[in-house]
Structure 1
Amino acid sequence: MRPTSPIRLRHSTYDAVKSLIITGQLPPGARVTEAELTERLGVSRTPIREALNRLERDGLVEGRAKSGYAIACFDARTAREAFDLRATLEVQAVLLACRHASDSHHQALRAIITERDGLADQDPRFKLREFQLGMKVHRTIAEADDNRMLARIVHDLLDRCQVYVWMDLTALDNWQAARAEHRALVEAVCARDEACATQVITAYIADPRTNVVDLMEARRDLRAMAVAGSAQ
């Protein structure tokens, strides 16, 4: 077996820790240390340290002086702001992709949908991969205009939004709707249909925004009621 290269190990470790956060296996507020993650993932401290530093820049973990890290807490206001910013940037990215995407970008987008369709009705263990492919659709569209600054900003924003997207898909079981919207988005971009693509991406972002914000506010209210009840 060929040894894993340092670069690949860094990326795979980052992806592994991020997946633990996105899927709630490391819940908001949980304290984590390099030593704990090293043991859990079976890698050395160096890639763990690099992953945590990168995740801190992504807004998914917060450094704690002399006590490691804590998983960031996500609230309705942050979700609302993130989705609103996505609506602005991704509409622009979709318009540019309709105008400038190459045949190779079209092929890449269609390949993502084909792979995702193959996972749709399989074991729930494949849900994380299906989720990643859905996010890859948006990243590929952002790269299609060859505007590196826009692509980087969209990539960073998507990293910050992944917890909310996962929440919409799993807590509210919106997998089927997401599949249909991604397929419609790819078809519109490949057809260079700006009006249709804009309509699809706007709805795709607006619906989860409403769902996630409502869910987080409901959970907040339930926690407040529980605290008030215990104080009586």
Structure 2
Amino acid sequence: MASELESRLKGRVRAARRTVLTEDVYERVKSLIMDGDLEPGARVNIYAVARLLDVSQTPVREVLAALESEGLLTKEALRGYSVAPVLTSEQVADLYQLRLLLEPWAAAGAAGRITPEAAARLRAELGSQSRAPQGTRYEDYHDIVAHDARFHDLVAELSGSPALRASLQRTHSHLHLFRIEYEGRRSGEPTLAEHARIVEAVTAGDAGAAEQAMRDHLTAARDRFLHTPAG
């Protein structure tokens, strides 16, 4: 008998490709969450997902475990996986406050330790996303979300603090949850412009400018998330 998940989504979700199978299953399931096809609190059954995507249960188990580690799913004994609750505005503001304490310092540290190789890595990452997304589905803005995660992770890595980098990786994963109800997905152009200013300051070795550019970026990103006026 088809599950509720299969009944609602069968025919709307293409089967996962057999090549790079786990990665494809990951993107398919994540898309269902990020686009709201699987709403917060919805049960995510391993067997139903495997049938929906026409794959075995093995990659599905791996993917659901990975999404749990990112905070997009929760797991309860005897109940299995469910879509995690969406973060509240207060929780998002709190996470950004933490980022504002840590990431400007990281940008300054990266500027102080900059090398030609590190500068090349930053420029390459900036160049990997040359165009802002146009649509509002996860498949439309997936690339800039991935770029944003890589960019901030790279700045944290170049700061030379593994503890700070690990902390920010967890913070960024939590913010994915808020994107489910975030209407400002067309904010790619300001994000890319702000990243460019950070890269310019860090690669110039200007710690003060790098710190300020990162602070300005995070403040603007927070305000876009929360739909409040900047300043």
Report the TM-score when normalising by structure 2.
Answer: 0.75
Deviation at 1:137, TM superposition (A): 0.9
Q: Which residue identity lines up with residue 91 of structure 2 in the other structure?
A: T
Alignment correspondent of 1:155: 169
Deviation at 1:70, TM superposition (A): 1.5
Distance 1:203 1:23 in 2: 29
Superposition CA RMSD, Å: 2.8
Distance 2:224 2:82 in 1: 26
Q: Structure 1: 5+ residue runs without aligned partners?
A: 216-232
Alignment correspondent of 1:183: 196
Does 1:68 pair with 2:80? yes
Does 1:91 pair with 2:100? no
Alignment correspondent of 1:103: 116
CA contact (8 A) 2:109 2:160 kept: no
Q: Which residue identity lines up with residue 154 of structure 1 in the other structure?
A: L
Distance 1:166 1:67 in 2: 23
Does 1:47 pair with 2:59? yes
Size of the aligned set, in residue pairs, is 208
Deviation at 1:49, TM superposition (A): 2.0
Report the TM-score when normalising by structure 1.
Answer: 0.75
The percentage of counterpart residues that share the same residue type is 28
Q: Structure 2: 5+ residue runs without aligned partners?
A: 1-17
Alignment correspondent of 1:143: 157
Task: Name the structure where helix makes up a greater proportion of residues.
Answer: 1
Choose the corresponding residue for 1:77, options 79, 90, 106: 90
Distance 2:222 2:119 in 1: 27
Deviation at 1:73, TM superposition (A): 1.2
CA contact (8 A) 2:22 2:63 kept: yes
Change in 2 beyond 3 A, CA 1:12/1:86: farther
